[in-house]
Amino acid sequence: MDKMFYVKAALIALVTLLAAWLLVPTIYYFKLPADERNQPEKLESVLPAWAPPAKIRLNLGLDLQGGISLGLGVDTDTALRGKTTRRADELKAFAEEKGIEGITTSPDLSGKRHAVVVKAETPAALDQAKKVLLDYYQDMNLDDSDATSFRVSFDEREIQDARTKAVDQALKVITNRVDRWGVTEPIITKRGKDEIQVQLPGFKDPARAKDLLGKTAQLEFKIADDKGTYFADLFQRLLGAPPEGVKVETESEAGKTNQVLVLRTSRVSLGMEPTTGGLSPYLIAMGEQGADALAELVALSGMPLPEGREMGIECIPSKYKKNSCEGYRSYLLNAKAELMGDAIVDARALLDQGQGGGGRPYVALNFDANGAHVFERVTGENVGNRMAIVLDGTVNSAPVIQARIGGGRAQITLGSNKNYQELIQEANDLALVLKAGALPAPVTISEERTVGASLGPELIQRGGFAVAFGVLLVVLFVAIYYRVSGVIVNIALLLNALIVLAAMAAFNATLTLPGIAGFVLTLGMAVDSNVLINERIREELRLGKTLRTAIEAGYDRVFWTIFDSNLTTLFAGFVLLSYGSGPVRGFAVMLIVGILASMFTALVVTRLVFEWLVVGRGWKSISL
Amino acid sequence: MGFKLFSGETQIDFIGHRKFFMSLSGILCALVLLGIAIFGFNWGVDFAGGSEIEVRFEAPVDVAQVRKVMESAGFDDVTVQELGASEQNSFLIRIGRISMLSMADADKAKAGLTEKFGAGALASFDFNPAYGDKFEVRFQKAEREIAAQDVRETIEKATGLTVQDIHAVVGGYSVIMDGISAKVEQALQAANKQDGMAKAELRRVEFVGPQVGEQLRNQGIMAVILASCAILVYIALRFETRFAPGAIVSMVHDIIIVLGYFLVTRREFNLTSVAVLLTIVGFSVNDTIVIYDRIRENAGKLKGMNLASLMNLSINQTLSRTLLTGVTTMVSVLGLMIFGIGQLFDFAMAMIIGIVVGTYSSIYIASPTTLFLEDLRHDKAPPSASSGEGQLDDKALAAARKAM
């Protein structure tokens, strides 16, 4: 046996062990009761220390575990129409600011156009307006003009950009809402150009989900009451007499001991932050269910919020998981909204290029005439206070008002204890939120799939039977047909199955019903490579070759055949992957992974076993 | 030694019978295409849009009975299909529309509200069929004290439908009406109480808007075409260009025959069916490539042998492999057919048909087509040795055996 043999054997052993190891979290995942499978911390708590991280596992698709999947179409046309209409007002205002008199503007939304028609009373004013406006608004082009008017329209790039932003906003709004429901492991993804897919495993009420997701974003500006001691009083009262279900625990950190209220999975503590009015108390609830815990504590305490105040809740984003909160903090807000999102004309993230700005990102806001007026008054009255930006009832940020802000233009500078990338990201997010109030792109529900909880387990069981039956038949058939070499093929086949599942787990792929079908199908197709090889070896033997040379010739000659024929199926798999949605993608992934794994097991694993038998053990014949 | 399908090498004259099989396949495909043109497919909600509800009854129920209940509940465009063979008492109910609320219902609700609270009370009334069974009603500032219960009762009275949920939004209420699934559930419950029909459970509900359906259908067609093109380009590059048409024809043939399954059985054609078609495309070409590969290999060794004999020899040499692969793949999905439900059953059934047809076509259609086209070309040009009648040429074969 040459050296390469041992290297290969070691490689195969390594792959096998690795595959088995990767499947450990999946096995524990399936062992959990169905209703606990979506709680990552449950899985983490039962996983042995040597196992891979809990997120490396196969997930059950919605079709197998029950839940709701919604396809939401974002109506980007409406957002664009809104943008065009607002731009028409802006153009007029800008022209007047530049001292051009007698300009009227109107949006032209006929057909698929997003244009503004500008009219002037005198030819001189028209020429001047044309020059000034086109000079300033680089994102608009001149379409046509006559003696009394001209028409400008957004250029194609700007339109595409606006559409993309509308979808991003909708995505942000939806993520924001879903986060508040306490649905575990929601999956919210963009699909295609203007669609969003929301998957809510275990969620049972489609009407409620549709209602919450379908409504237009609601953005409010509210003043925070930083002097209020409500949260401190509430916390003391709860510590003194914890209601049923709430435990008081003591934890120490950096030499200090803190008392904590524990409500189910949430740990609530009292925080103090320095504001202009002194130390302002707030509650902080760690855990994914923190938002609910805060609301529940207020209800349990029997201590109503002060008159005219309400609790605002802000998500503390998780460092480890995207679009997820590791906890929530509270704000004491004036219940009255000072300003609504429809007062915002535009919001964008910009970099401060001015002196000493150092390229710091900030968010620039424009208000409409009425909004500007209100904003000036409110900021004037509340210098030093914080203004909470509340989207759909969740506080998104609460900047301190530095000075009275007039002119309808405001800037929000972001906190500094973050790195540059994070700041830019935050500025973009905030601009999206603000714009969501300004340019709402309505979403329509284009697709809804609800799977009852009773169907999933049955499908898993039946799918399991079907796979076991199919695999058993294939294994039996191969063993009977090829005898000893059939056993070799079967070893490769089972290893193939192991690798496929492990690879799927490593990608954190989702197991769907068509995926199960794909799995058993790829196993059937995987035999093909071995059939090709074995048939070829038979042929070579018929030509009178020795077993050893026949095996070598067999493998060498069919390599390209196997390569060519598998590649075509791979093509089909990749096309399916890019086309399909949900369950069908699961099938495509199975197909692709299955083909790759089968090439490895057929060309490397079975060959090695043959070599071992013929060269190592000196076999002169093998039943083929 | 293990079993063998054939002792030694077969010498079946596949190419010689090509005219018969090509005509047979041609006629069959023409019939399927004609059938599709006349009857169309039984499109699933994925493609046609609409609602689909999977229901299971506790005891045996007749398809006609289920349809009757649905029709009496006011669904006139309903189709009821029994699920796969193994699943007992389960049905797929398909309804053309996606929401219970029609524009007329919304108008009725609006009129009712105006009548009850006065003409000037309503600030806005939003209804969009795409949102499903819900509308939002907002009142003028002075009227914001109107209670949810009043709104609910007014709407229920005006429309004759049931309000499922009503809750406050800024300036008014969001009203969710009972949707299709609620209506179906009620109808089934009523049938259970009054006519003693078995108890039913709604297991899966799907709604797909008509636009999405159309989009998915177009994308599905594009996907099949795209995959086919990619495969053909690959064949043309790896083999000779003249081999590509044979692969195209056999692939299209397989697709059409599998479509024939959906046409004849009236089983639902949905996203999973597209997955089957694409897999069949891959499988069919896979088989064809193995044979082409062998033709290429033999052509290198046996210079001077005419194409027909070369093809016959290659098909015979790979015959046991072709059949074996077909059998193992078929056997693997057999479990799905026996234990599978609904879409899995159709997946398995269509796949098995595809495998049989794919195996057949790679033997009887792919190479013969290439030969046929070669013949056509050479009929115009002076005759050459590279093509000929498909009789196995004894001399050439003897030479072949020596050469290997």
Query: What are the pLDDT digits (tens) for B9-23?
Result: 778 888 888 889 999
What digits encode the pLDDT tens for the residues B37-52?
A: 999 998 888 888 888 8
Helix, coil or strand: residue B118: coil
Interchain contact, A624 vs B2, CB within 8 Å: yes
The distance from CA A484 to its chain's CA centroid, rounded to whole angstroms, is 50
Fold of A77-158: Hypothetical Protein Ta0175; Chain: A, domain 2 (3.90.1070)
Q: How far off is chain A from B7, nearest CA to CA, in Å?
A: 11
Q: Tell me how far apart the alpha carbons of residues A218 and A215 are, in angstroms, rounded to a whole number.
A: 9
Interchain contact, A521 vs B279, CB within 8 Å: yes
B204 with B214, same domain? no
B340 with B397, same domain? yes
**Residues of chain A with pLDDT > 70: what percent?**
94
What digits encode the pLDDT tens for the residues A182-225?
A: 666 788 888 778 888 888 887 777 777 777 776 666 778 899 98
What digits encode the pLDDT tens for the residues B199-254?
A: 888 888 888 877 777 877 888 888 888 888 888 888 888 888 888 888 889 999 99
B238 with B187, same domain? no
Q: Which residues of A touch B353 (CB under 8 A)?
A: none
B27 with B68, same domain? no
- Token digits of residue A57: 């596992």
Chain B interface includes A544 (CB < 8 A): no
B312 pLDDT higher than 60: yes
Position B404 confidence tier, pLDDT thresholds 50, 70, 90: very low
The predicted structure's pLDDT at residue A24: 93
Round the average pLDDT of chain B to a whole number and report it.
82
ipTM, two decimals = 0.80
B248 with B294, same domain? yes
Interchain contact, A543 vs B404, CB within 8 Å: yes
What digits encode the pLDDT tens for the residues A333-364?
A: 988 888 877 788 788 888 877 665 567 788 88
The predicted structure's pLDDT at residue A493: 93
The predicted structure's pLDDT at residue A58: 87
The predicted structure's pLDDT at residue B350: 93
* CB of A445 closer than 8 Å to CB of B299: no
Fold of A3-66+452-616: Multidrug efflux transporter AcrB transmembrane fold (1.20.1640)
Interchain contact, A542 vs B285, CB within 8 Å: no
* Residue B7 belongs to some domain of the structure: no
The predicted structure's pLDDT at residue B169: 65
* CB of A181 closer than 8 Å to CB of A211: no
A100 pLDDT higher than 90: no
The predicted structure's pLDDT at residue B388: 44
Chain B interface includes A480 (CB < 8 A): yes
Position B181 confidence tier, pLDDT thresholds 50, 70, 90: confident
For chains A and B, count residue pairs whose Cβ atoms are closer than 8 Å.
270
Interchain contact, A564 vs B324, CB within 8 Å: no
The predicted structure's pLDDT at residue A215: 67
What digits encode the pLDDT tens for the residues B115-134?
A: 888 877 887 787 766 656 77
A118 pLDDT higher than 50: yes
B111 with B239, same domain? no
Position A121 confidence tier, pLDDT thresholds 50, 70, 90: confident
Round the average pLDDT of chain A to a whole number and report it.
84
Q: Tell me how far apart the alpha carbons of residues A527 and A489 are, in angstroms, rounded to a whole number.
A: 7
* Interface mutation vs chain A, best among B55, B277, B331, B355, most A CBs within 10 Å: B331
Buried b (16+ CB within 10 A) or exposed e, A550-575: bbbbbbebbbebbebbbbbbbbbbeb
Interchain contact, A466 vs B336, CB within 8 Å: yes
Interchain contact, A466 vs B320, CB within 8 Å: no
Interchain contact, A524 vs B340, CB within 8 Å: no
Interchain contact, B132 vs A445, CB within 8 Å: yes
* Residue B37 belongs to some domain of the structure: yes
| Residue that finishes a domain, picked among B178, B196, B230 | B178
Buried b (16+ CB within 10 A) or exposed e, B212-244: bbebbbebbeebbebbbebbbebbbebbeeebb
Q: Considering only CA atoms, give the Rg of chain A.
A: 32
* Residue B6 belongs to some domain of the structure: no
B186 with B81, same domain? yes
Chain B interface includes A598 (CB < 8 A): no
B86 with B107, same domain? no
The predicted structure's pLDDT at residue A476: 94
CATH level 2 (architecture), domain A212-444? 2-Layer Sandwich (3.30)
Cross-chain CB nearest to B234 (options A531, A568, A580)? A568
Q: What's chain A's length in residues?
A: 624
DSSP code at position A386? B
* Residue B349 belongs to some domain of the structure: yes
The predicted structure's pLDDT at residue A180: 64
Q: How far off is chain A from B379, nearest CA to CA, in Å?
A: 32
Name every residue whose Cβ is closer than 8 Å to that of residue A219 and which is 6 or more positions away in sequence. A340, A341, A344, A389, A390, A391, A433, A434, A436, A437, A438
What digits encode the pLDDT tens for the residues A499-524?
A: 999 999 998 888 888 888 888 888 88
* Residue B330 belongs to some domain of the structure: yes
Chain B interface includes A446 (CB < 8 A): yes
Taking only residues 562 to 581 of chain A, the set having a beta carbon closer than 8 angstroms to any beta carbon of chain B reads 564-573, 575-576, 578-581
The predicted structure's pLDDT at residue B58: 86
Helix, coil or strand: residue A69: strand
> What CATH number is given to the structural domain containing B362?
1.20.1640.10
Q: Which residues of A touch B318 (CB under 8 A)?
A: 535
B264 with B355, same domain? yes
A419: amino acid identity, one letter: N
Number of structural domains, chain B?
Answer: 3
Domain that holds residue B384: 15-43+209-403
B384 pLDDT higher than 70: no
B192 with B282, same domain? no
A581 pLDDT higher than 70: no
Interchain contact, A575 vs B344, CB within 8 Å: no
Interchain contact, A462 vs B339, CB within 8 Å: yes
B173 with B25, same domain? no
Instruction: Enumerate the domain spans of chain A.
Output: 3-66+452-616, 77-158, 212-444
The predicted structure's pLDDT at residue A555: 93
B187 with B174, same domain? no
Q: Nearest CA to A533 among A560, A498, A571?
A: A560
